[in-house]
Amino acid sequence: MTSDHPPSTNGIVVTNETSIECRCDDLAELAVFLMPRLRLHPQCELGITLVDVPRMTDLHIEWMDEPGATDVLSFPMDELRSAPEGVLPIAGTLGDIVLCPEFVKAQSDEKGHALDEELAFLVTHGMLHLIGYDHATAEEYDAMFALQDELLDEWKRQ
Closest CA to 2 of 18, 25, 13: 18
147-153: Cβ within 8 A, 24+ apart: 148/121, 148/124, 151/34, 151/37, 151/38, 151/124, 152/120, 152/121, 152/124
- CATH number where 36 lies: 3.40.390.30
Q: How many domains does the chain have?
A: 1
The tens digit of pLDDT for each residue in 39-78 reads 999 999 999 999 999 999 999 999 999 999 999 999 999 9
Domain that includes residue 98, residue range: 12-157
CA–CA distance, 102 with 97 (Å, rounded to integer): 16
The tens digit of pLDDT for each residue in 67-105 reads 999 999 999 999 999 999 999 999 999 999 999 999 999
76 - beta bridge partners? 95
Domain contains 7: no
pTM recorded for the entire structure: 0.92
